[in-house]
Structure formats: structure tokens, C-alpha cells
Amino acid sequence: MEYRIEHDSMGEMKVPADRYWGAQTQRSYQNFKIGTEKMPAEIIRAFAILKKSAAVANNRLGRLDDKRKDIICQVCDEILAGKLDGNFPLALWQTGSGTQSNMNMNEVIANRSNEIAGEKIFHPNDTVNMSQSSNDTFPTALHIASTLIIDDYLIPQIDHTIAALKKLEKENEGIIKSGRTHLQDAVPIAFSQEISGWRGMLEKSKQQLQAALPFTEELALGGTAVGTGLNAPKSFGEEAAKVVASLTGKPFVSEDNKFHALTSKDAVVFAHGALKALAANCMKIANDVRWLACGPRCGLGEITIPANEPGSSIMPGKVNPTQCEAMTMVAVQVMGNDAAIGFAASQGNFELNVFMPVIAHNFMQSARLLADALRSFTDNCLIGIKANKEKMDYNVHNSLMLVTALNPYIGYENAAKASNKAFRENISLKEACVSLGFLTPEQFDEYVRPEKMV
């Protein structure tokens, strides 16, 4: 491999000749050989948006000339287009402020900009990092990335699943089945009503995620090192936020209290709480589906799900609810990520939180996994659910909890006697009620009508 010599304030470093990063990136690359996790791609893209916005803001405020501004914007666009992939190699497990990834971005932009300009007129710190600090850029990148992955990636997938559930509801109108509480038989419910509960969960999750966005749309940029804004023009944060909003189409604003913006991560804790709530709902829906499909002969068997692949290496013909299992594993991961984010956010000391890379990693993973799992679950399982009408009808008409409809006519205690007698003697509710003298056969048929109980 060929190398070139780069330098920083600590001296010279050998850097791969075919890469644009500089000495500080190389030091981090060599000093933090920890794990396989790299800085999330969403954070890299958010940094490119941020650096472009900072260049435009500095230009508008008279600090950066048109030529340098235009070239920085060009390089940022190259990063966003994926043309400079491979230039951001740093481990997630680095400085907790994300300084090294901020400098990685600064060095790549500066070196590529000098290449375009044909002269060395860009400096990573003085030009690309102008009016900024790692301490306000990383929180800003975190908020940009969090907002975009929720609004542009996750919520559209939630909408896709909601649409599939609405279709499933319509297809199953009029089908009555036994409800279940505590995993025990309960009063009847329409299958479409049960599906509507799943839909309602996702609709509420969407609303909760949207409620979190105004907080992640507040940006720390302009606070520089400790929130005072040292070395930045007074209006830099507001001007840069306007550019971020223009570039992304999202209502980003500059946070009023930069001291809060640098040290507190409560916005991402709150937003990830909505991700955890979505994960809990996804866990519930996936579990309902695999319970209702369990069998096919020795379980509930009230629905069938698509047979996507063989389920066993030893039992021929076995098919498993694999999409449900993938969804529940994702839910578990998201819940674990939430614990990590909560712990990390609680560790802000004085003017800075230094757990930001791990917060970023867990947040992006949660949103990405939930979106991908919802798409997979919807397209490979949910849309192929079919009701086993015969099994549902059998179960609902043999449920002892139909006796609940008799409470107004024979009273709770007599209804309980009838239910207990039917269970002990393995006879029908109708036979029990008639033999106890509570009702005539005709009265029972009039009062106990499952389709009227939903």
C-alpha cells in the first residue's frame, strides 16, 4: 500500500495515499481497534448536511468566501451521493464526544476540496470546522439523523403496515371468534375488531414518534465548545439551522439553550421511548399472530400464515412462524438499546455528554431494525393471513364464556353455576342451563347469539 504524510498538531502520520482522511483520523483508526461497529452511515450523512449548512451560513455571515463555500458544498454533495464511501473508517468505540468522527469529516472535506481547487486553501479546523466544535456538531448530527430516520424511513413503513391491516380488516368483516384474556376463553369478538386493535397500536406509535420530532428538530449548532458560542458569530446557529431545514425539508431550528443542547440527550431518550413503545406493540402483534396460527392441528389454528420456508431440519413438512420470530427478536434488541441509551444519557457531566456515539449507534439500529422488520413481517406474513372460519366458529360456539350474555337474565351467580356445570360434566352451556331450570331451550337460543355480542 502506498502512503502519504499528513500532519496535525501532534506531528506527522502516514496515511493511505488513496484516502482523503488526514492525521487525526489515522490516529483514531490506529488507537481504537475495538469491535467491528463503525459510525452509523446515517450519522455520516447527517454530518455532510451539517457541514454544507455551516459553510453556507458562514458565507452568509461574511466569514467564508464564495469559492470555498461552493467547493465545500460540492464535496458534501459527493458524500451524500456515496461517492466518498470508504473514507469514514472510524470505530464507534472512540471518544465519547465524537470528536474523531467530526475531524474525519473535516479532513475528508478539506483534502477533497483542495484537490478540486488545485491548491491548499482549505484547512480541516480553520475552514471546514469554522464556527463549530465537535461538542455542538455531533449532537447536531445526532438530531438530524434521528429526525430523518424516523420521518423518512420508519414512519413510511408504519404507514405501509397500517394500510395492510386495514385491508385485512375489510377482508375479515363479519367473522366472529372467541376473544381471549389471560390466555383463557373470553367473550366473542369480531376478527376484524381484533385486527383493528393491531392497527390502532401502530397508529398510536406513529403519533408518539411524531410527537418526539419537535425535540430532535432542535439543533445544538452554534453552542461550540461549552454552549457559550465562542468563536462563532452570534446568529450562526440560527442561520445554519435554516439551511439544514432547507436542505432536508424538515422544520429544524436552533435550540434556544445551547447549554442544555450540549449536555443533555433527553430528546433522543424521549424519541427512543417512542421506538421502544413501537417495539412493544410489534412484539404483541407478532405474538398474537403466532399464537393464533399455532398448530396447525394441535394448537389454536384459527388463522393460517404463509409457508415461506421449511421449518425443521429433521421434521418434514414443518412450517414455523419465522417472520414473527424475527420481529420479536428485533423488539428485544430495541428494548435493550433503550436501556443503553437511557444509561448513556444519564451520564452527562458538567457541560458535555461523552456517550454520544453509543447513543447514535443504538438509536439508528433501533429505527432501522423496526422499519426493516415491519416491512418483512408485512410483506411476508401479514398480507397472507387467512382466517380458518370453521375453527373460529367451532371455538366461539363451544366457549363457556358465552354465558356472560345470560347475566342480565339469570344473574351472575346462576350463570357461573351453569358454566361450572357445563365444564365439569363436559356438556354444552345450553344443556347446563336447561337442566338447572334457568332457561328453556328457546330462551337460551334467543339470548345467546355470538354475532350480537360483538
Tell me the catalytic residues: 182, 312
Contacts of 420 (CB under 8 A, 6+ apart): none
**Cell 414512519 sits at which residue?**
155
What CA–CA distance (Å, rounded) separates 131 from 51? 11
What CA–CA distance (Å, rounded) separates 17 from 4? 5
Facing residues of 304 across strands?
A: 386
Distances (CA, A) of 370 to 161, 235, 274, 279, 339: 12, 38, 12, 7, 16
Distances (CA, A) of 334 to 37, 210, 329, 375, 401: 17, 18, 9, 16, 37
Q: Is 207 exposed, middle or buried (0-12, 13-18, 19+ CB in 10 A)?
A: exposed
| C-alpha cell belonging to residue 161 | 403496515
What CA–CA distance (Å, rounded) separates 396 from 175? 11
| C-alpha cell belonging to residue 167 | 385491508
